[in-house]
Amino acid sequence: MKKRSGKAAGVKPRTRVPLKRAQVVRSSPLQAVFLVGFMGAGKSSVGRALGQQLNWVFEDLDDRIERREGRSIAEIFGNSGEAAFRCAEHSALVQLLEELRGGGARIIALGGGAFVQKENASLLKAAGVPTIFLDAAVDELWQRCCLQASKTGAERPLLRSEKQFRELYQTRRKSYSQASTTLQTGGRSVDAIAAEIVERLGLKRIAIRQEQGEVE
């Protein structure tokens, strides 16, 4: 076995260079995949399928926000406004990344606006985690959201008129494309999309799932 101390014969002892705090805390990369994209992109459905294929825990960041706040996303928007929601979203993400540093493999679906906020995108970049932009034609995204609203009564505060929906998508698209990988989801099954993520990222199924932190 190789000696790590540099005290082997003939090797000059090295001067100790103090490590910065960040280097000490993170010795291995976080085992996590973040799904980003607009409303209706299928982040949660693909995330669940991916979690099942890999035996990794799936978490929807919006669920964590609701638990922490003790009210629904629609209530946060309605009673406190979007700026308050963005603050809650950011601190939920900070908390989640802190948990991931403690171990465990997780798939996370971010809400449609989370990755657009520069401070969130920077946090994820600094953490070195893969971010997957799930994209589709805006017509299809709109159709999916309308179908979900009529089928499940899902409330999305930013799902207003079709015109606003299209404009918001156009405004955000450039930010989403900063993700490490982009996948087109149009007309494809969630299982097929999840399988492509596994293959493209070379992800490995784990034998024993570590239930840790706040999960679905």
Q: For the CB of residue 29, give the shortest distance to ligand S3P in the complex, in Å.
A: 26
Q: Decide: 209 and 56 in contact? Cβ < 8 Å.
A: yes
Q: For the CB of residue 110, give the shortest distance to ligand S3P in the complex, in Å.
A: 8
Give whichever of 63 and 210 is closer to ligand S3P, judged by the CB atom: 63
Give whichever of 11 and 84 is closer to ligand S3P, judged by the CB atom: 84
Q: Which residue is nearest to ligand S3P (CB)?
A: 111
Name the DSSP class of 161. -
Q: For the CB of residue 158, give the shortest distance to ligand S3P in the complex, in Å.
A: 5
56 in helix, strand or coil? coil
Give whichever of 55 and 178 is closer to ligand S3P, judged by the CB atom: 178
Give the ranges where 3-79 is alpha helix by DSSP (H). 21-25, 43-54, 61-69, 73-75
Q: Which residues bind ligand S3P (CB under 6 A)?
A: 39, 43, 62, 73, 111-113, 156-158
What separation in angstroms does the CA of 143 have from each of 65, 118, 138?
26, 28, 9
Give whichever of 156 and 173 is closer to ligand S3P, judged by the CB atom: 156
Placement of tokens 């997780």 in the chain: 106
